Every structure is written in C-alpha cells, then in structure tokens.
Amino acid sequence: MPLRRLVVSTALMASVVFLTFAALVISGRLPVWPAVVACLVVVGLHALLLRAFLDGLTRIRTGVEEILVEPERAVPVVRSSSPAVNDLWLAIMRLTRAWRHRIRGLEIELAGSNAVLAALPDPLILVNERREVVRQNAAAQALFGDHVLRRDLAVALRQPTLLAAVDAVVAGGGGRLVEFELTSPVERHMTARIDPLPARTEDGVILLVSLHDLTSAKRAEQMRADFVANASHELRTPLSTLVGFIETLQGPASDDEEARVKFLAIMQQQASRMARLIEDLLSLSRIEMNEHQPPTTPIAVVAVLRHVGQTLEMKAAARGMPIEYDIADEQAQVVADADELAQLFQNLIDNAIKYARPDTAITIGVGPSRRFKDGLAIKVRDRGEGIPRTHLPRLTERFYRVDTARSREMGGTGLGLAIVKHIISRHRGLLEVDSEMGEGTTFTVHLRGSMPGAAALPPPAPKSDENRVIG
Ligand code: ADP
C-alpha cells in the first residue's frame, strides 16, 4: 500500500479534528501543548484504522486483477482486520462464482449452436459488413471450398439478385428471401434466406445467408406434372375413341348392324387398353409404396419363370415364337416377392413377344450372377431388330417408347419396363440391357441370393461391341 495514500487519507479524515483543536487554541480555551498531543493521538488512531482498510482494498484489487487475468484459477484468499473489507471480498467472491457459472452456461450454449450450425444439411455462410465470408458450415464448405473465406461473397455466389439482397441487409434492411439458379458445377435451383443478426459478433459477423437446394423438389414436381400429363393423355385417347363410337352408334349408324359389330370390337379393344393402363398405374404405385421394404422370403425362381412362360405360350405361338429354356439349376432360389417376380418376368417375356421378329425363338436363361455373390442372373433374350443405343438409358422411364405407334398397336401401355425397374429396385437387384441392331435384345435381371449381407461383385469389363445399359 503506498504511504502517500495513507498520509493523504489520514490528513483528510483528521482535518476536521485539527480545525476544531485549532479553533479552541486560537480562542484561548485550550493550551497549545495538550491540543498538539490530542491531535497526534487522533492522527495515530486514524492512521491505524485507515491502514487496515486501505491494505484490505489493495488486496481486493490484486485479487480481482488475478481473476481477470486467469478467470479459471482458484479464487485467491483475502483476509483483513477490517470487517467491511472482508464483507466486500465475500460479495466479490459470490459475484465471481455467478459470473463463472454464467460463462460456463454460455460456452455450453455456444458449443451446441456451433454443432447445430456445422451439422445443418443446408449450406450456411456468415458474412461481415464488408460482405466478406467470415465463417461457413460443413455443407457450405463442401459446396464452395475453403478459398472463399475472408473474401467477398461474390467469389462463392456470383448472383446479382442475391448480392443485391445481401447489400440491402448490410445497409440496415430487414431479412429477405431470394431464388436463383447455379450453373456450375451442376445446374441447381436454390433459395437463399438473408437474415441480419441481432448484434454484431466478435469476429464481425452481421448477417447469415442460408441456402436451400430446391433442385430435387423442382425435378420431382416436374416429373409429377409430366406423369399426370402423360397418364391423362394415355387415358384420353382411348376414351375419346369410345365416346366417338358411342355417338356414331347412337346417331348415324344406329341401324347399321355391320357397323355396330365392327365398332363394338374396336370399343372393346379401347376399353381393354384403358383397363390395362389403369392396372399398370395401380401396380406401379403399389410397388413404389413398398419399395423401401425388401422382400424376405426365399422363392424357387425357375418355377415362377416356367409358370409365366406357360401363360404366355399361346400368345407367343400366335406369332410363331417358341419359348426355350436354358436353366443351370432348376432348384435355384432368390429372396423375392413371388407375385412381383411373376409380373417382372411377364413384362419382359411379353415385350420379347411383342417386339421381336415373328418366327424367332425367345430364350429364358437362369445362371449365376456376375453381379452378386450367390446371386442369380435371369435372362430374357429375343431375336428382334434390337434397340438403338440412344434409347437404352431412357427405356425404363414411364411412358417412354422407342416406337410409340408400334407399342400402341401391340397393346403396350409404356409402363412395362418402369414396373420392371421398380420391382428390381425393391429387390435391391440390377437390370442390364444388351442390344445389337439386327441381332436382338437381352434383358438380364440380377437378383441377390440372400438379402441382407449379399455382397456385390466388382463390375465385369464390358464387351467392346456391346450396346448395353445397366440400371
Ligand atoms: P410398352 O408397353 O410400350 O411395351 P415398356 O415399358 O414395356 O412399354 O417398353 C418400353 C419400350 O421399350 C417399348 O415401347 C419398346 O419400344 C421398347 N422395348 C421393350 N422391350 C423391347 C424388346 N424386347 N425389343 C425391342 N424393343 C423393346
């Protein structure tokens, strides 16, 4: 404790007593010497009292400074002969404990918020008032890389609408939402929410840009709209034919027996087309609904295949097409849904009958899969004209046809291979299509022998002259 402070404080406190004694001496009521002695006693007593008090205050100041330098260290002990100093130190200790508790709470809260920020699947960018990227979460880092940090937001997102909105928020405007398209590395539809923070953070962040990728949602929306448009078009065509014939039969041809027989046959054909379409649409939605649940029952595949082959034998025979079998193991089993498996084979064999040249054989083969260990490869091979390479990747799309007129003429709905694809996907299998122009087409379905840990084999090297697609 500095001596000067003690002297000044003592002098100040004792000044009233000095003045009183001085007045008494001057007025002659007190002799000089007793007054001097009394003054010295008073000064001594004040100095003693003040020394303890000031000493305690100095220790408190040192203790508080130690806590500020090292907030986590143990609270130093301050004891003084002055009760006021001890009480003050106790209050400071309580304040320190409450302060530490609050800081710990805030640290936990901050760690939680940072973890949430990092784990958010949507990219988040924190921006300062110079529009620089100060921080970003893992999703944004994956999208833009680390080089955007400490640089203008325009380096990551060169989007005039977005940048204008950010500038407006920097200038003090409220939060806003903008929609824009990214063209590289791949085309994406995005929305960005720009929100000002309630207060500027220590590292200068004043606003938050959160991005949301709308690409899948937009694509799904487009697919749904296309599907509805296609399905209604497919239904409307036979329906308008039916309405047309009904009107003709009710009007001009009401008494024409020959026309009636002819038209009724066409009407029946169109009604069956509508029924087939509705049936296929229902199958597709049923399969899609269960697609997340793979089947669990082992099924003897060859029996299912032979049964389907038998039901289609007449149709094949009508086009002079024998159905031949090339079966490696009659007892072969796969984990499958028997009804869906039958529908899958039915669609593939039916297509072979519809699209291959008349008087050629259809071969159904069963052998080990090159794709799944212990799996089976089921092949349906025809000797048709083949499918041009450009069409192969889109064959399993709903309503996609190589030759629409031929498909309609053969009673096709355009949904057969889409159904095949979804059944295979539910079975966690694979579809391969090999086609050579003028030679024919082979659809190969790879199914797993046992569902859970069935391992996939490395993909076989493709034959160079092959026209093939794998899905
Ligand atoms: P569709 O009801 O028209 O047969 P699919 O979805 O079953 O519909 O088949 C889609 C298209 O793929 C068919 O329209 C046809 O053009 C072509 N296709 C399917 N299987 C064969 C095949 N074995 N040979 C040639 N083309 C085929």
Q: Could you confirm whether domain 295-471 is CATH 3.40.50.720?
A: no
Burial 72-95 (b: 16+ CB within 10 A, else e): eeeeeebebebeebeebbeebbee
DSSP letter at 372 equals B
Which pLDDT does position 6 carry in this prediction? 86
Q: Return all residues near 195 (Cβ < 8 A) that are at least 6 apart.
A: 169, 175, 207, 208, 210
* Cα–Cα separations (whole angstroms), residue 146 to 7, 31, 61, 140, 377: 63, 89, 46, 9, 47
**Tens-place pLDDT, residues 219-264:** 899 989 999 999 999 999 999 999 999 999 999 988 999 999 999 9
Q: What are phi and psi for residue 414, nearest 5 degrees? A: 80, 10
Which pLDDT does position 63 carry in this prediction? 86
Q: What are phi and psi for residue 13, nearest 5 degrees? A: -70, -35
Predicted confidence band at 470 (pLDDT cuts at 50, 70, 90)?
A: low
Which pLDDT does position 463 carry in this prediction? 45
DSSP for 152-214 reads BHHHH---HHHHHHHHHHHTT---EEEEEEE-SSS-EEEEEEEEE-SS--TT-EEEEEEEEE-
417 lines ligand 1 (CB under 6 A): yes
382 lines ligand 1 (CB under 6 A): yes
Mean pLDDT in residue range 34-38: 90
Smallest CA-to-CA distance from 212 within 127, 155, 143 is with 143
Specify the pTM: 0.67
Q: For the chain, where do the domains classified as CATH 1.10.287.130 start and end?
A: 215-293
Place of tokens 């590292």: 203
Mean pLDDT in residue range 196-220: 93
Would you tell me how many other CB atoms lie within 10 Å of the CB of residue 330? 12
Q: How far apart are CA 356 and CA 445, in angstroms?
A: 19
435 lines ligand 1 (CB under 6 A): no
Place of tokens 């009292």: 49
Which pLDDT does position 465 carry in this prediction? 40
* Between 463 and 264, the higher pLDDT residue: 264
Q: State in Å: Cα 48 to ligand 1 middle.
A: 109
Return the CATH fold of 215-293: Helix Hairpins (1.10.287)
Residue nearest to atom 13 of ligand 1 (CA): 401
Q: What are phi and psi for residue 201, nearest 5 degrees? A: -85, 170
Predicted confidence band at 125 (pLDDT cuts at 50, 70, 90)?
A: very high
Q: Given the CA of residue 356, which atom of ligand 1 is nearest to it?
A: 24
Q: How far apart are CA 428 and CA 452, in angstroms?
A: 10
Residue nearest to atom 27 of ligand 1 (CA): 355
Give the DSSP H/E element, type plus range, for residue 399.
none
440 lines ligand 1 (CB under 6 A): no
Q: For the chain, where do the domains classified as CATH 3.30.450.20 start and end?
A: 121-213
Distance of CA 242 to the CA centre of its chain: 47
Q: Given the CA of residue 401, which atom of ligand 1 is nearest to it?
A: 14
- Reading the block at residue 185, the tokens are 């590395």
Name the pairing type of β-strands 362-368 and 323-327: parallel
Give the DSSP H/E element, type plus range, for residue 42.
helix 32-69
Residue nearest to atom 25 of ligand 1 (CA): 355
Would you tell me how many other CB atoms lie within 10 Å of the CB of residue 185? 7
441 lines ligand 1 (CB under 6 A): yes
Predicted confidence (pLDDT) at residue 162 exceeds the cutoff of 90: yes
Predicted confidence (pLDDT) at residue 410 exceeds the cutoff of 70: yes
Which pLDDT does position 51 carry in this prediction? 87
User: What is the three-class DSSP state of 453?
Assistant: coil
Distance of CA 463 to the CA centre of its chain: 37
Q: Given the CA of residue 443, which atom of ligand 1 is nearest to it?
A: 23
Predicted confidence band at 130 (pLDDT cuts at 50, 70, 90)?
A: very high
Question: What is Dmax (Cα atoms) for the chain?
Answer: 156
Predicted confidence band at 182 (pLDDT cuts at 50, 70, 90)?
A: confident
Which one of 397, 402, 441 would you pick to mutate in the ligand 1 pocket, going by the greatest count of ligand atoms within 8 A of its CB? 402
- For the domain spanning 121-213, the CATH number is 3.30.450.20
Mean pLDDT in residue range 123-144: 94
Contact yes or no for 383/438 (Cβ under 8 A): no
Give the DSSP H/E element, type plus range, for residue 467.
none
User: What is the three-class DSSP state of 261?
Assistant: helix
Let me know if 232 is exposed, middle or buried by CB neighbors in 10 A (0-12, 13-18, 19+).
Answer: exposed
Predicted confidence band at 454 (pLDDT cuts at 50, 70, 90)?
A: very low
Mean pLDDT in residue range 339-355: 97
**Tens-place pLDDT, residues 294-314:** 999 999 999 999 999 999 999
Mean pLDDT in residue range 205-231: 92
420 lines ligand 1 (CB under 6 A): no
Which pLDDT does position 447 carry in this prediction? 95
Predicted confidence (pLDDT) at residue 378 exceeds the cutoff of 80: yes
Residue nearest to atom 10 of ligand 1 (CA): 401
Q: State in Å: Cα 352 to ligand 1 middle.
A: 8
The percent of residues above 70 in pLDDT, for the chain, comes to 95
